[in-house]
Amino acid sequence: MRCPPAIQIHVIVVVTMVTPQRLLVPTHGAQLPLFDVCALAGTDARQDDVNVHDFLGQSVSDFWYHISVLRGFCVVLMKSDKQLEIRELVEVLPSALMMRYSTDSGTSAKCIKIARQFFAVLNHLGVEHLSDVTPELLDDFYWMPSRRHSYQEPSSATAANRQWAVRAMFEVFREMGLWSVGDISGDTISREYGRSSRPATREELRHIQVASRNVLIPNGDELLVAMALCGGSASEIAAVCPEDIDLVSSTIQFTGVNQRVNHIDEWSFDVLSEAVTKIPQSTPMVVRPGLAPQRAAHSVTVRLNRLITRDGFSTKNDLTGVSIRLGAARALLDTDGLEAAATFLGNQSLDATAKALRYEWWVRS
């Protein structure tokens, strides 16, 4: 088993091997005896003594980070099957994370805190080895309710923080030689801080409609687009069940805070009428049953945004998944006025609706 690339950049690493089971890290700046790790790094180079600061040629924090990674790597070498148990990773990981973010104690403390939560969840689930961790397990961890917040579902920002920490952990595992499968952390969770969306144009909406159906393997994106064209927000779309769609009157009912019934346009009717007959009653049409509302809404948001970028549109011009419903509302505004557009979107404020649709209006007394 060869030393991970992150450690190979240092031909000789300064460590002190005290016993076959324990690796001690010396103090900064001292004259230190060298434990020859050339066998690990695949080289015959040797030295006797070195000063840490002269040896580095880079920051002290980077050096000590690699030391902490090497410590974990040596623990791996002492295992005959190279399978560390989760309880052993708990002992190795915190020091590596602390060194990784040594210039920002707040960041390292935050990452270590989330890491300990993650290991506690793995222990509770009976997961013994890193190889048993799955993308589904990670997704459940991101959106796991916490006792601190009365077991309410976490915000997107909290879920995003957990994902960031998990990615940092797995990067350390990779450098230790413990992980080579690839990234299983899932699509990046948006913190949704003030992202701006403009209404899609009629031409853009037509392009999105065609792209959502022009796929070799149906993935349900056309359902998302259809419901967005009917004025649904991400949370409203996630809650739609077959019984919410009335094919006789060509209407769709959105539930929640802004409950309302909207008209279904011709293109969306074709899409929805086909799906209604295939999905059981009382079953969400676009998300997995049993998902918490915010997590389900985030799933819809991610899929719509992915559809936009996959179709060649750049998010830099403020075109996002929200742009679809805003584009439909803007078309309604042009024909039926601002109040109709506000009702369509479920907005109580005409000012907020005008701002979202980038429409300038003045009320004259």
CA distance 210 to 200: 14
- Domain presence at residue 365: no
Rank 24-38, 42-56, 225-239 by mean pLDDT and report only the highest.
225-239
How confident is the model over 113-141, as pLDDT tens digits?
Answer: 898 889 888 888 888 888 889 988 898 88
> Residue by residue, what is the 3-state secondary structure of 230-279?
CCCCHHHHHHCCHHHEECCCCEEEECCCCCEEEECCHHHHHHHHHHHCCC
The pLDDT score that the predictor gives to residue 43 is: 33
Shared-domain flag, residues 136 and 212: no
Is 165 found in the same domain as 213? no
Does the pLDDT of residue 323 top 90, yes or no?
yes
Given 172, 192, 212, which residue is the final one in a domain?
192
Same structural domain, 221 and 294: yes
Assigned domain for 300 exists: yes
Q: Answer yes or no: are the C-beta atoms of 231 and 253 closer than 8 Å.
A: no
pTM over 0.75: no
197 is a domain residue: no
Amino acid 255: pLDDT: 93
Across 47-61, 96-110, 171-185, least confident range: 47-61
Tell me if 18 is assigned to some domain.
Answer: yes
Could you tell me if residue 260 is inside a domain? yes
Looking at the structure of the chain, the number of domains it has is 3
Cα separation, 113 vs 157, whole angstroms: 16
Asked if 6 and 90 sit in the same domain, the reply is: no
CATH number, domain of 292, equals 1.10.443.10
Residue where a domain stops, chosen among 22, 45, 78: 78
Q: Which residue has the higher pLDDT, 65 or 293?
A: 293
13 pLDDT higher than 70: no
Note whether residue 364 is domain-resident: no
What per-residue confidence (pLDDT) applies to 7?
Answer: 40
pLDDT for the residue 60: 43
Give the largest CA-CA distance in the chain.
89
Residues 63 and 125 occupy one common structural domain = no
Give the tokens for residue 92.
Answer: 């190795």
Q: What is the mean pLDDT of residues 202-216?
A: 90
The number of helices, as runs of H, and strands, as runs of E, in the chain is: 16, 7
**Whether residues 111 and 35 fall in one domain:** no
Say yes or no: 347 and 266 in one domain: yes
Q: What are 22's strand-pairing partners?
A: 19
Share of the chain above pLDDT 70, in %: 70
- Of the chain, the percentage scoring pLDDT greater than 90 comes to 32
pLDDT band of residue 149 (cuts 50, 70, 90) is low
**pLDDT of 145 strictly over 90:** no
Residue 97 neighbours by CB under 8 Å, 6+ apart: 108, 111, 112, 115, 168, 169, 172
Do the beta carbons of residue 254 and residue 195 sit within 8 Å? no
Q: Are residues 137 and 260 in the same domain?
A: no
As a whole number of angstroms, the distance between CA 262 and CA 212 comes to 22
The DSSP bridge partners found for residue 24 are: 16
Residue 1 has pLDDT above 80, yes or no: no
| Mean pLDDT rounded to a whole number for the chain | 75
Query: Whole domain around residue 120: which residue ranges?
Result: 83-192
Question: E-assigned strands of the chain?
Answer: 16-19, 22-24, 31-33, 49-51, 245-246, 251-254, 260-263
CB 177 within 8 A of CB 4: yes
pLDDT at position 267: 96
Same domain? For 167 and 283 the reply is no
175-181 CB contacts, 8 Å cutoff, 24+ apart = 175/4, 175/5, 175/6, 175/7, 175/69, 176/4, 176/69, 176/72, 176/73, 176/76, 176/92, 176/96, 177/1, 177/3, 177/4, 177/73, 177/76, 177/82, 178/72, 178/76, 178/84, 178/89, 178/130, 179/130
Q: Give the lowest-confidence range in 56-70, 78-92, 98-112.
A: 56-70
The arithmetic mean of pLDDT across residues 6-17, rounded, is: 37
Rounded to the nearest 10 degrees, the angle between the axes of helix 322-336 and helix 293-310 is: 80
Q: Are residues 337 and 220 in the same domain?
A: yes
Check pLDDT > 90 for residue 9: no
Domain match, 206 and 345 both: yes
Q: Among residues 137, 135, 186, which one has the least CA distance to residue 164? A: 186
Is the domain of 89 the same as that of 182? yes
